[in-house]
Structure 1
Amino acid sequence: MPSLRFTRLAGVASCLACTASLAVAQTGWPAWDAFVKTQLQADGRVIDHTTSIYQSTSEGQSYALFFALVANDRKTFDTVLKWTADNLCAGKLDAQLPAWQWGRKPDGSYGVIDANSAADSDAWIAYTLFEAGRLWQAPQYTNTARSVLGHIRSAETADLPGLGPMLLPGPHGFATGNGTWRLNLSYMPLPLLRRFESADSGGPWSAIAAGTVRLAAAASPHGFPPDWLAWRAQGGVGVDPTKGDVGSYDAIRIYLWAGMTSPRDPLAKPLLTALGGMRRVVDAAGLPPERVATQTGELAGTGPMGFSAALVPYLSALGDEAGAAAQARRMAAREAAGNDATQPLAYYDRVLLLFGVGWAEHRYRFDERGRLMPSWRAD
């Protein structure tokens, strides 16, 4: 398929005074260089400036690791990895899963706010360490990846009645005790699960991949997956008791992951088929909605620029190159506006842009076994 090219990708927003940013990496990937300048402290901490506590999350750290690997930026990778281990894992990434939230506490000090781990971030950390070990021929990363994956398997997976093995969003708080579990489909990208299959052949990863697609189809009667869903031992898929049936800021990643899944993966087509509602809406309206009531298909609001970025791989995977190009144009225009310090791009928009732009520019792909194929490696 033809490559979608963008001429203006490097939005530069001013950092808050409380941060000491890294010098721009000049990796040849403008969007990543801008992320390093605007979101990353010199010590490797990714900061979400949109929060009053200047929080850092395991999600942000995991994404920064992935993008650093895609950019072949090992110096930044190691800096981010060290901060993550030191501050979210008490210095022992191989011994415990990272706390998901770190930031300013009520007393003004900084540290872990919520020690519960987040399975999506843990999965991205394990995945990226496996691939860093392979691509950079560095076994120390691979060894740590095996430890992290082992902790994910023991603490964040469960065999759910009527469904089978499944990845829980975290170790605590997602099993209600009355035969209901809360699940998040955006926590389970198929390429990551495929990579875990080869790293842990006796693990539940293939079954989790199949269960993820089954859940997506069952929870999306109008082709829109929800942010959160419930699985009930008696009754199967249902509406999440806490978040309801809304599909929005979490669910947008489900389209993104589906679009980036190798077409040679046998689950790629069924997953894309289950998510057909978004293409119909974008074809008709030109822009993605911010929220969808997934049980009725009712739409609300206009999604931010990051939503358009997330849909570029999805629309391309569906063969809608014109639709993908239209979302890319919107994304490029908003990113260019991010050069204006009065309109800085937010953390999440930058993340979705890095995924979408990086993919559209062929900076990386995933093969059917989930292996990362960055542009700087020919094999």
Structure 2
Amino acid sequence: MRAAHDPSLRAAARLTLRFAWASALRLTLTGALACIGCAAQAAQPARCDDWSAYRQFIAHFMQQDGRIVDFSTAVQQSTSEGQSYGMFFALVANDRATFDKLLAWTRANLSAGRFDAADLKLPAWQWGRKPDGSYGVLDANSASDSDLWIAYDLFEATRLWHEPSYAKLAWALVTQIEKQEVATLAGLGPMLLPGPQGFQTGGTTRVNPSYLPLPVLRALAAQAPSGPWASLAANAYTLVKTTAPLGFSPDWAAWRDGRFIVDPKKGDVGSYDAIRVYLWAGLTDPTDPLAKPWLDAIGGMRERVAQTGVPPERVATTSGVAQGEAPIGFWGALLPYFRALNDARAANLAQTHLAAWAAAAQQNAASGSTTPGNSTPPPVYYDEVLMLFGTGSADGRYRFDATGQLVPRWGKLCEPAHAHS
């Protein structure tokens, strides 16, 4: 469930961004992967664990009350997705104050104050400006992938910050996810519905492959072995493999008459949702028994980039016909995918594009585009999210182990980062 972004903002953001944001990513992608600022501490003191790109993300997209805003949408929307990803990045950054702000805003606004162990309402997926100019919930349906991520964030916060109150929330959330967002499909078994309402009609169940990150499912299976999570992981692989006949994952698919079919509403397009399928596969621990088969099932993107030098913005997954050039965020999402495939050429290409993008943005900023009073298009939320996931992994800030647990490198980025291979 993704609202359309303003294409003019996306195009403009490719050319001109704030100097601070560009500088943060440039540092990340041009030699500072092992330690940001360590070599020049005397001249410019910096903590070795400082994640500049994360700080810039929070400064730009998070309001003081903990609301992540997607400025590229007409309604200035906030989503459960944005809140869940923000909580994850705060966990990676060891930023508990921000984590708690994000959680508090989610509880108060997306769950109407009902986000407690004894009374938990699944978060509404979309909140923003209403037609009358007021702000509030725009769509009360929940988004199951965000719900999974929030539960994951809470479980991992319990473990890493030694705070049991987070676990109580996580268990309450997992209980509601299992009750409202997991369906048993005849001939398959448990499958994650994209949300409680509107995805099962007339014998057809619509599903979203990008809603099923394997590390998150592994972690939930470890927490709740009697739950559906291990079976969901296996069925998610079946979904990805079956719906990617040419190695490209679609944004949406459907289950009908005992098999996966092309989604009757969105068709076979793979684009802004599907890019996360490659990202999650690249972030999966290589010792996971599904890691290699999963990567093998979606090899089409690697082959396409090898042929053309750029990922497509959209691809018809049943024919391979591609359209458009992907935005910069796709390169960020594909970086872990290329690294997991041990494709050094493609990974270097991704880093080259990301570095060139940052350099161009820095040049625009230096020419005066960030002068106070000038109108500067803001960074695009979704691009920045994908890049934080991808570059954060590539520069060793975090990884997932074989059980799905988060392994952050808090305070350790002056040590050599281990390659994800």
After TM superposition, the score normalised by the length of structure 1 is: 0.91
Q: Give the secondary structure class of the aligned counterpart of 1:191.
A: helix
How far does residue 8 in structure 1 lie from its aligned partner after superposition? 8.8
Q: Alignment partner for residue 159 of structure 1, among 184, 188, 192?
A: 184
CA distance in 2 between partners of 1:338 and 1:58 (Å): 29
Letter of the 1:78 partner, please give it.
Answer: D
What's the counterpart of residue 216 of structure 1? 240
Q: Does structure 1 residue 264 correspond to structure 2 residue 298? A: no
Q: Does 1:46 find its partner at 2:68?
A: yes
Describe the shift of the 1:80–1:107 C-alpha distance in structure 2 as closer, same or farther (beyond 3 A): same
- Which has the higher relative contact order, 1 or 2, with Cα contacts under 8 A spaced 6 or more apart? 2
- Corresponding residue for 1:309? 332
Cross-structure match for 2:38: none
1:288 and 2:288 correspond = no
Alpha-carbon separation, structure 1, partners of 2:154 and 2:318:
38
Equivalent position SS for 1:301: strand
1:257-294 superposed Cα distances (whole Å, 9 cap, x missing partner): 00000011101111001001000011111110000000
SS at match of 1:162: coil
Distance verdict in 2 for CA 1:316–1:278, change over 3 Å: same
Alignment deviations for residues 196-245 of structure 1 (CA, whole Å, 9 cap, x no partner)? 0011111000111001111111111100010000111x151111011100
Instruction: Summarize the alignment of residues 107-122 of structure 1 with structure 2, pairs less than 5 Å apart.
Output: 107-122=132-147
CA distance in 2, matches of 1:338, 1:89: 38
Offset of residue 344 of structure 1: 3.5
Distance in 2 of aligned mates of 1:337 and 1:56: 29
Q: Is the 8 A contact 1:26 1:33 kept in 2?
A: no
CA contact (8 A) 2:29 2:354 kept: no
Q: Residue 365 of structure 1: which of 359, 383, 399 is its match?
A: 399
1:180 to 188, 195, 204: 204
* Separation in 2, partners of 1:343, 1:97: 34
Whether 2:344 is the aligned partner of 1:321: answer yes
Whether the 8 Å CA contact 1:8–1:332 is kept in 2: the answer is: no
Q: Which residue of 1 aligns with 2:385?
A: 351
**What residue is the counterpart of 1:134 in the other structure?**
159
* SS class of match (1:238): strand
Q: Which residue of 2 aligns with 1:82?
A: 104
The residue that corresponds to 2:59 in the other structure is 37
SS of corresponding position for 1:292 = strand
Contiguous gaps of at least 5 residues in structure 2: 1-26, 33-46, 371-375, 413-421
Structure 2 partner of 1:16:
none
Q: CA deviation at 1:91?
A: 1.4
Other-structure match for 1:15? none
SS in 1 for 2:173: helix
Q: Determine if contact 1:289/1:303 at 8 Å carries over to the other structure.
A: yes
Instruction: Give yes or no for contact 2:154–2:170 (8 Å, CA) kept in 1.
Output: yes
Measured at CA, do residues 106 and 8 of structure 1 come closer, stay the same or move farther in structure 2, by a change above 3 Å? farther
Contact 1:40 1:46 in 2 (8 A): yes
Task: Identify the residue that residue 105 of structure 1 maps to in structure 2.
Answer: 130
- Residue 204 of structure 1 corresponds to 228
Tell me if the contact between 1:8 and 1:335 (Cα under 8 Å) persists in the aligned partners. no
CA–CA distance in 2 between the matches of 1:99 and 1:71? Answer: 26
Contact 1:338 1:345 in 2 (8 A): no
Moved more, 27-36 or 135-144: 27-36
> Is 1:123–2:157 an aligned residue pair?
no
Structure 2 counterpart of 1:135, one-letter code: L
Residue identity in the other structure for 2:211: Y
- 2:255 corresponds in structure 1 to 231
Residue identity opposite 1:37 in structure 2: A
Please give the alpha-carbon distance, in whole angstroms, between the structure 2 residues aligned to 1:338 and 1:142: 42
1:194 to 209, 214, 218: 218
Structure possessing the higher radius of gyration over alpha carbons: 2
Task: Report the counterpart of residue 50 of structure 2 in structure 1.
Answer: 28
Once superposed, what is the RMSD of the aligned Cα atoms? 1.8
Q: Tell me, what secondary structure is at the counterpart of 2:136?
A: strand
Consecutive unaligned residues of structure 1, counting only runs of 5 or more, are 10-24
Conserved? CA contact 2:48–2:411, under 8 Å: no
| Aligned equivalent of 1:56 | 78
- CA shift for structure 1 position 74: 0.8
- Counterpart amino acid of residue 77 in structure 1: F
**How many residues are paired up?**
358
- Which residue number in structure 2 is paired with residue 247 of structure 1? 270
**1:76 aligns to what SS in structure 2?**
helix
> Secondary structure at the residue paired with 2:146?
helix
Letter of the 1:317 partner, please give it: A
- Write the letter of the residue equivalent to 1:158: A
Call closer, same or farther: CA 1:138–1:76 in 2, change over 3 Å.
Answer: same
SS at match of 2:325: coil
User: 2 CA distance for matches of 1:26 and 1:271?
Assistant: 35
| Structure-2 separation of matches of 1:147 and 1:106 | 34
Cα 1:88/1:8, change in 2 over 3 Å: farther
